[in-house]
């Protein structure tokens, strides 16, 4: 039996600001992100295995992505911790807001790279991350493919 790709989709709301950017996105704003996670592997062929025929249980993949991405980023605001936005972040945190201070400019491109590393670290050894698609708006998205990296 050959390799099969399976995909699970997730939605979350996240705010961010792009420090130093020359457009509107320098202001704090938010997106309704859609994340598609595709993994690749061989379906289980052991007839005594409870997950016979599955590459990975969708529930197991969901648990990984929820813990690593959605639960952390949903309704949080992401700032680059190496910018003056750190002062705003501290004020928001002091007021009880969920804030993520990232090592990077929180663009979709950089977020999808971060997400790939987080997910890959949690996948079983026989399952590989194939691709991620992080959709920021109806017409804009960033993609990460293992084959490109």
Q: Which of 67, 75, 91, 97 is catalytic?
A: 75
130 annotated among ligand-binding-site residues: no
- Is 75 one of the annotated active-site residues of the chain? yes
Q: Which of 68, 85, 130, 136 is catalytic?
A: 136
- Is 67 one of the annotated active-site residues of the chain? no
- Is 25 one of the annotated active-site residues of the chain? yes
Could you write out the three-class secondary structure of the chain? CCCEEEEEEEEEEEEECCCCCCCHHHCCEEEEEEEEEEEEECCCCCCCCCCCCCCCCHHHHHHHHHHHHHHHHCCEEEEECCCCHHHHHHHHHHCCCCEEEECCCCCHHHHHHHHHHHHHCCCCCCCEEEEEEEEEECCEEEEEEHHHC
97 annotated among ligand-binding-site residues: no
85 annotated among ligand-binding-site residues: no
Active site (catalytic) residues: 25, 75, 136
Q: Which amino acids are annotated as binding site, given as ranges? A: 16, 29, 31
Q: Binding site for Zn(2+): which residues?
A: 16, 29, 31
């Amino acid at each position: 039996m050959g390799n099969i790709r399976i995909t699970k989709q997730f939605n979350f709301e996240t705010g961010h600001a792009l420090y130093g950017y020359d457009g509107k996105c320098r202001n704090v704003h938010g997106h309704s992100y859609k994340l598609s996670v595709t993994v690749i592997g061989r379906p289980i062929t052991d007839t005594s295995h409870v997950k016979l025929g599955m590459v990975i249980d969708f529930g197991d993949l969901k648990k990984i992505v929820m813990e690593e991405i959605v639960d952390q980023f949903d309704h949080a605001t992401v700032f680059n911790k190496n910018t003056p936005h750190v002062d705003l972040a501290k004020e928001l945190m002091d007021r009880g807001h969920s804030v993520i201070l990232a090592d990077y400019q929180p663009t979709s491109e950089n977020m999808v790279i971060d997400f790939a590393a987080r997910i890959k670290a949690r996948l079983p050894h026989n399952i590989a991350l194939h691709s991620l698609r992080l959709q920021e708006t109806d017409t804009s998205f960033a993609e990460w493919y293992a084959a490109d990296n």
